[in-house]
Structure 1
Amino acid sequence: MGILSWIIFGLIAGALAKWIMPGNDPGGIIITIIIGIVGAIVGGYIGTMIGFGDVSGFNIKSFLIAIAGALLLLFVYRQIKK
């Protein structure tokens, strides 16, 4: 996927992660994009390690992995900020 696709994919995954796990997090759209993109990378890495799959394009499986990674990243970020 191209960089623009990753940014859009990350924005959607990050926004859904914040919607699923609401809270008073600092940052705006840029932080949401970063959480989504890094979450997709983390989710893809973990998914590959456990044999579930990786983030290989715009499909449901990749989208769920990216959201799970973004949720994990958001949880860790909140634990560190406490």
Structure 2
Amino acid sequence: MGIIAFLVIGLVAGLIARAIMPGNQSMGLIATTLLGIAGSFVGGFVGSLFSRDGRAFDLHPTGLLFSVLGALVVLFLVGLAGRGRRVHV
């Protein structure tokens, strides 16, 4: 049950991050889920910096919020990395 919840939270976080971030992100459902999962890892790491016990992978009430914020950071960094690769025809 834990992996299914992790995938669902990743999908929701990825969808919310794509809706918040301006611009066109051409991704499918799987890429959006992977974006949310990466955001969960980034958000969990940042959240662990502010908690007393320092555990990165525990479930917290602010887990979805940090997942969305982490997904926004990942989406921003992917956008920066992809800027130089555009081919103008």
TM over 0.5: yes
1:44 aligns with 2:20: no
Report which of the two structures shows the higher radius of gyration computed on alpha carbons.
2
Question: Match for 1:45: what amino acid?
Answer: F
Aligned to 2:87: none
Q: Aligned equivalents of 1:55 and 1:17: distance in 2?
A: 20
Query: Partners of 1:35 and 1:79 in 2: how far apart?
Result: 15
TM-score calculated relative to the size of structure 2: 0.79
Q: Where does the alignment leave 5 or more consecutive residues of structure 2 unmatched?
A: 84-89
Q: Which residue of 2 aligns with 1:28?
A: 28
Runs of 4+ in structure 1 off by over 6 angstroms are none
Q: CA deviation at 1:57?
A: 3.0
User: How many pairs were matched up?
Assistant: 80
Pair 1:73-2:68 in alignment: no
The correspondence of residues 7-22 of structure 1 with structure 2, limited to 5 A, is: 7-22=7-22
**Are 2:6 and 1:6 equivalent residues in the alignment?**
yes
Taking structure 1 as the reference length, what is the TM-score of the superposition? 0.85
Q: Distance in 2 between matches of 1:64 and 1:27?
A: 21
Q: Percent identity?
A: 38
Q: Which runs of 5+ in 1 are unaligned?
A: none
Displacement of 1:55 in angstroms is 5.6
Secondary structure at the residue paired with 1:25? coil
**Conserved 8 A contact 1:55-1:63:** no
